[in-house]
Structure 1
Amino acid sequence: MGAGGRRGSRPPGVGIVPALEGAGLIALHLAATPLAGDGRLHWGTVGTEAADALPGDDLVPDPRWAYTLGVDVAAPPAAVWPWIAQIGQGRGGFYSYQSLENLLGCRIVNTTEVLPEHQHPVVGDEIRLHPEAPPMRVAVVDPPRALVLVGAPADVGGEQGGGAATWQFVVREAPGGGSRLLTRGRYDYSDDWGSRLAFGRFPLEAIAFVMSRRMMREIARLAEGGA
């Protein structure tokens, strides 16, 4: 068993109940979008975290929309990092609603173990969200503090030079030996339908919120168990 694994624990998000939970939450948040305002864009953040400069911000300097989410982790950054380092389809998964994702053909396997073969991402590595979708690429690696992935609208059929999107993971030390885990997405896109569909705020923001919130809570649980 990999270091920090939980022997016999069930992978996150497996089964009909989590799938129904995830689908229901996404439907609820999509329906509530006209009333939600910007509250989901900074869920879980404290103080100035939502506005703080984070590694990778410069990759999309003028986003058309962005979010920053945060959770407390009762474990040091070194215990959080392994779960972030191995994130991805065909790697450690996304620690979210696995069964729901796989209904869409994502072929995700959420691990409950630290996988040594996926602990050393390097700049330029491809990280897939779906086996048939264009990958994101690793742009920043700074263990145990930051992992930044970047993708471009051109990768999904949008116009060349139509912008970019980032998925940023940042781990900060917190008082008492714990951590703050932040995730941020920044999106720029052109006005053609391909890049708008892939990177526009609706429906992506509601879906990303539901999946990311579950992911961050699971990473916290796994890191705390490993620590």
Structure 2
Amino acid sequence: MRRALLWALPVAATGAAWRAGRRLGATAAEARLPLPGDGLLPTAQIHNDRAATIPAAPDQVWPWIAQLGQDKAGFYSFESLENLAGCRIVGATRIHPEWQDVTVGDPFRLHPDVALRVAIVDPGRALVVTSQGGDAPGDLDFATTWAFVLSPTRRPDGQIATRLQLRERYQTRGPAARLMIEFTALVSAAMTWRMLVRLKTLVVSAPR
């Protein structure tokens, strides 16, 4: 009995961490909310929602989102880990005017050899990228979208803040691909957590 309990505890803890990572910082209502880009994969089986409140207006947060990408500002995450995977990212610590012009159809690089495609651009409101029409070596067993959605909210002092919600959606074509994506949910959550924390720091410390 004791041995079974010792095995069950880490399994239960891992399951709890996995469930928490799928909705890191996002409320249940936010996870149910329709967002831009959902229609690109209407039958997606996997959804990850993460969110944070940034104490600045959406127009002050948007420039940091607009310049996301491996060949631009990076992803404000754990660059040392990303570069171990060969991403060759040099993260930005300021807004770059030359990276602000984002248009539908642009490549959105994750790695020198892997690019998604910009599908939706609504400045100050939403950026959505998709694997559909993207560029990756070999054949992927899944399709994905990644949405960055900014919504104005109010801080306790009455000032405008930004609720930033990130949504990953996956449509898999086989059990192996689905299992892989499910198992990488914790890694995705950790990288996204770092992104949100770093973004908050960068936005707050940036000159107005």
Give the C-alpha shift of residue 172 in structure 1.
0.4
Q: Distance in 2 between matches of 1:73 and 1:218?
A: 11
Report the number of matched residues.
192
Residue from 183, 202, 214 that aligns with 2:194? 214
- 8 Å CA contact 1:79–1:224 kept in 2: the answer is no
Q: Distance in 1 between matches of 2:54 and 2:98?
A: 24
Percent of matched pairs sharing the same residue: 39
Give the C-alpha shift of residue 225 in structure 1.
1.7
The alpha-carbon distance between structure 1 residues 35 and 90, as it changes in their structure 2 partners (threshold 3 A), is same
Amino acid at match of 1:220: K
Partner-residue secondary structure (3-state), 2:82: helix
Q: Distance in 1 between matches of 2:192 and 2:40?
A: 21
Give the C-alpha shift of residue 202 in structure 1.
3.2
TM-score, normalised to structure 1, is 0.77
The alpha-carbon distance between structure 1 residues 80 and 209, as it changes in their structure 2 partners (threshold 3 A), is same
Q: Distance in 2 between matches of 1:41 and 1:204?
A: 10
User: Is 1:190 the equivalent of 2:169?
Assistant: no
Residue from 152, 166, 173 that aligns with 2:152? 173
Aligned-residue RMSD, C-alpha = 2.4
Structure 2 alignment gaps of length 5 or more? 1-11
The corresponding residue for 2:58 is 77
Residue from 20, 32, 48 that aligns with 1:51? 32
Give the C-alpha shift of residue 188 in structure 1.
0.3
- 8 Å CA contact 1:33–1:206 kept in 2: the answer is no
Structure 1 alignment gaps of length 5 or more? 1-30
Amino acid at match of 1:167: W
The alpha-carbon distance between structure 1 residues 214 and 37, as it changes in their structure 2 partners (threshold 3 A), is closer
The corresponding residue for 2:125 is 145
Q: Distance in 2 between matches of 1:48 and 1:190?
A: 28
Instruction: Give the structure with the larger strand fraction.
Output: 2
Offset from partner CA, 1:38-71 (integer Å, 9 cap, x none): 2221111136111100000001112111111110
- 8 Å CA contact 1:70–1:181 kept in 2: the answer is yes
Q: Distance in 1 between matches of 2:26 and 2:188?
A: 16
- 8 Å CA contact 2:17–2:186 kept in 1: the answer is no
Q: Distance in 2 between matches of 1:155 and 1:189?
A: 16
